[in-house]
Homo-oligomer: A and B are copies of this chain.
Amino acid sequence: METPKRGFASDNNSGVHPAIIKVLSDANNGHAIAYGDDPWTEKAKAKFKEIFGAQASIYFVFLGTAANVLSLKAITDSYHAIICADTAHINVDECGAPEKFTGCKLISVPSSVGKITVTAVVKHLHGFEFEHHTQPKVISITQATELGTLYTLEEIKALADLAHQYGMYLHVDGARIANAAVSLGVSFKEMITDTGVDILSFGGTKNGLMYGEAIVFLKEGLDNNFKYFRKQAMQLSSKMRYISAQFMAYLDQDLWKQSASHANRMAALLQKELQGIKGVTITQPVQANGVFAVIPKEIIPLLQKEFFFYVWDEHKNEVRWMTSWDTQEDDIKRFTALIRQLIK
């Protein structure tokens, strides 16, 4: 098969970091007890605890949607409501998996640059004890957001405090959490544990892993009986060592940091190169590895032929360009050169 081109469609379209391929091969050594009772899984979990605190507990699943849905299942009953941004992945990109598996209602809140605020959420915090209403139980945010933006630590803390004040939980969809941490220049612990987050979907696939994500419970007691839900949700990997080995490498060798930093730098470079191009308007703050822009409608298909990407909002001609661990400076240069040329 010929080598496919790199584009800007999705960080999921990138391949796997070579270091990850290597650890998969290294882990391929003899027998290991299936379903997680193996030394790789033990070490990977220990690494997570080192990062997030000894009170954390960690469960591996296959994919990000499952990390989100199972996180929500762990802390809800079917009569609960989950409050999230209208743009949240759980709200618009998971085909109703949260509703199907948890039975809960999702209440979507208008967002700005992909973020929700205490003010917007609090409007939905009523009807407690009234059995006709679903009972608000979770606030769920995405960090970095689906629009490539970031919550500050203060904003996360404010939402965590709000949740706790109402006996609720704060969940973070961290599909791109590495990009958030390097951009904010903080540790995972500072961003998540210390702000009061209760449960985290910790992603890796979008940052160079092959498959596998982690659910991190930040507080003790939240994962009681959780193992049964993971199994029932069809997310218990038999040959789990191959997920765990990826996370060992990802976390141990700062692979997460290098890859995310690189992707973020490429997005910043793309933003920089786009500045001054007439007809291109960047629509969201570029804080992680995505650039959103309104561009002339007529150049979209021409551009897509050379560098594949998706239109985010057809009504506005807003497009989404994602960078990745494997984006090259030269990709950006050639891409922006082509834009300039097409716009002329």
A interface residues, Cβ below 8 angstroms from B: 1, 3-7, 9-10, 12-16, 18, 21, 24-25, 27-35, 38-40, 62-66, 69, 77-81, 92-97, 99-101, 103-106, 126, 131-135, 205-206, 210-211, 225, 227-239, 242, 308, 314, 326
Residues in B neighbouring A69, C-beta threshold 8 A: 234
- Residues A231 and B94 in contact, CB atoms below 8 Å apart: yes
Q: Which of B6, B106, B242 contacts A105 (CB 8 A)?
A: B106
A265 vs B69: C-alpha distance in the bound complex, in angstroms? 43
Residues in B neighbouring A7, C-beta threshold 8 A: 31
- Residues B231 and A210 in contact, CB atoms below 8 Å apart: no
14 pairs of residues in contact across A and B, judged by CB atoms under 8 Å: A1-B29, A12-B35, A12-B238, A15-B30, A21-B24, A62-B237, A63-B236, A94-B132, A95-B228, A97-B231, A131-B230, A206-B238, A211-B211, A234-B235
Residues in B neighbouring A95, C-beta threshold 8 A: 79, 131-134, 228, 231-232
Tell me the interface secondary structure of chain A in the complex. Answer: loop
Q: Which of B31, B211, B225 contacts A237 (CB 8 A)?
A: B211
- Residues B4 and A32 in contact, CB atoms below 8 Å apart: yes
A137 vs B155: C-alpha distance in the bound complex, in angstroms? 37
Closest B residue to A69 using CB positions? B234
- Residues B34 and A13 in contact, CB atoms below 8 Å apart: yes
Q: Which of B16, B96, B238 contacts A242 (CB 8 A)?
A: B16
- Residues A96 and B103 in contact, CB atoms below 8 Å apart: yes
